[in-house]
């Protein structure tokens, strides 16, 4: 059962990447360059290698590849299934977010070609559902295998996600003014 949970964790990351890449490709086919990551803040170039190490560590757990450590804080099938459920819910939330976003989806901040402010669909419940989905993946992956590496990624990932939310909300406030202010009063930042 534990191995199945590790496979679910690996499948979650693979599906998450596929979903985002397919969405970026669909937008590109419509003439929209949606990959804006790193254009606003050059220090973001550090994120991809750190993310690749995380992906490797999750895949290593599932497929018994060499790992930095095998130490766990706890091992619980019940918490593992909670983690698997969080990962599944995160994928569904990501899909709903991308559908709600429509052609407005960007990876990073698009200062040259901003679309209309999206406030419908899942964005009527959360101003940042994609980041909530990513946070659920990090929490779920930690519950699947409670290593110190995943704990560091959970804490660091939450801080990075919150930092990006603050950056984007500053941009949205400056770009959409009162429309964003009204939206911010109506809808919570996370959930």
Share of the chain above pLDDT 90, in %: 77
Cα–chain center distance at 68: 24
Inform me whether the pLDDT recorded for 36 exceeds 90.
Answer: no
Instruction: Tell me the per-residue pLDDT of 96-127, one tens digit each, with 9 for 90 and over.
Output: 999 999 988 988 888 887 789 999 999 999 99
C-alpha–C-alpha distance, residues 94 and 40, integer Å: 23
Average pLDDT over residues 123-136: 98
Tell me: pLDDT of 9 over 90. yes
Per mean pLDDT, which range of 3-12, 29-38, 96-105, 123-132 is the poorest?
Answer: 29-38
Q: Which helix (H) or strand (E) holds 110?
A: none
Q: What is the pLDDT of residue 160?
A: 94
Q: pTM for the complete prediction?
A: 0.93
Integer Cα distance of 129 and 148 in angstroms: 27
What does the pLDDT look like over 150-184, one tens digit per residue?
A: 999 999 999 999 999 999 999 999 999 999 999 99
Q: Which of 106, 125, 129 is nearest to 183 (CA)?
A: 125
What's the pLDDT at 24?
Answer: 94
- Distance CA(141)–CA(164), nearest Å, equals 21
* pLDDT number for residue 44: 82
Domains in the chain (CATH in brackets) are: 2-186 (1.20.120)
Q: And the tokens for 35?
A: 């990959």
């Amino acid at each position: 059962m534990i191995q199945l949970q590790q496979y679910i964790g690996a499948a979650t990351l693979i599906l998450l990447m596929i979903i985002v890449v397919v969405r970026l490709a669909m937008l590109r086919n419509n003439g929209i360059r949606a990959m804006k990551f790193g254009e606003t803040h050059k220090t973001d170039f550090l994120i991809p290698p750190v993310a690749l190490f995380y992906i490797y560590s999750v895949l290593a757990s599932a497929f018994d590849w060499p790992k930095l450590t095998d130490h766990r804080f706890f091992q619980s099938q019940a918490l593992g299934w909670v983690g698997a459920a969080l990962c599944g819910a995160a994928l569904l939330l990501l899909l709903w977010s991308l559908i709600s976003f429509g052609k407005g989806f960007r990876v990073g901040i698009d200062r040259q070609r901003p679309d209309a402010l999206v406030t419908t669909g899942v964005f009527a419940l959360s101003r940042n559902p994609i980041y909530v989905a990513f946070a659920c993946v990090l929490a779920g992956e930690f519950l699947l295998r409670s290593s110190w590496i995943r704990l560091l990624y959970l804490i660091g990932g939450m801080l990075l996600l919150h930092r990006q939310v603050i950056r984007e909300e500053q941009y949205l406030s400056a770009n959409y003014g009162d429309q964003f202010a009204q939206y911010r009063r109506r809808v919570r930042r996370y959930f």
